[in-house]
Chains A and B, each alone.
Chain A
Amino acid sequence: GAVVSQHPSRVICKSGTSVKIECRSLDFQATTMFWYRQFPKQSLMLMATSNEGSKATYEQGVEKDKFLINHASLTLSTLTVTSAHPEDSSFYICSAGRPNTEAFFGQGTRLTVV
């Protein structure tokens, strides 16, 4: 099946710094990628939809200036958490799919801000 690679899998950063998370579709072209956030013991909540070559669409309550999303190619989308704070500590996961097929998820990134 299709593979979506996400890295890093874990990252610890200092408060105030920025962290970039990459999501790659390895064997197919993904015109749309989705970024989700999962707090402990909760479900996945959509943060934003990333479209290749255009600006991302953010869900209500998600700060676009804090969570920068770039989708420069059909196989790569990045999420940058800027000026991270401890409350940004969470599990971030991307997914990519093609029309009429299932979505494939990356392995997720556990972000800890200290």
Chain B
Amino acid sequence: GQQVMQIPQYQHVQEGEDFTTYCNSSTTLSNIQWYKQRPGGHPVFLIQLVKSGEVKKQKRLTFQFGEAKKNSSLHITATQTTDVGTYFCAGQENYGQNFVFGPGTRLSVLP
């Protein structure tokens, strides 16, 4: 079945440093979504990527969908302590199907 992998598992950065997490699917996706989960909280939707090679930006966050629609990345520029949390990618092979979540990347930001 479909598998979604994420690296790294953990990342510790100093405040102000950049951070990137990578997501890879074993199958081609119709779309990929990114979620952020703060400690003790529930996953919060960040963005959806649909098109091959798509790049979207949200302030300091840059999301990219690979040309083959099998991988994606999330890049945070100049991290802040508010960026702390676990970032999950979730891939959907076809609309209406369930999402398969990656294991997440836990980000710690040291002030």
Whether A and B are associated in the same complex: the answer reads yes
Chain B contacts for A105, CB-based, 8 A: 35, 42-45
**Among A43, A102, A105, A106: residue with most chain B CB under 10 A:** A43
Q: How many residues of B contact A (CB 8 A)?
A: 19
Q: Is the CB of A49 within 8 A of B98?
A: yes
Task: Report A83-106 CB contacts with B as 1/0, cut-off 8 Å.
Answer: 000000000010100011111111
Return A48 CB to nearest CB of chain B, in Å: 9
Question: A43-B103, A44-B88, A102-B33 are known contacts. Are A93 and B43 too (CB-CB below 8 A)?
Answer: yes
Interface residue? A82 (CB, 8 A):
no
- With a CB–CB cut-off of 8 A, which chain B residues contact A46? 98-100
Q: State the B residues within 8 Å of A (CB).
A: 33, 35, 42-45, 48, 88, 90, 95-96, 98-104, 106
- Taking Cβ atoms with an 8 Å cutoff, the residues of A that contact B are 1, 32, 34, 36, 41-46, 49, 93, 95, 99-108
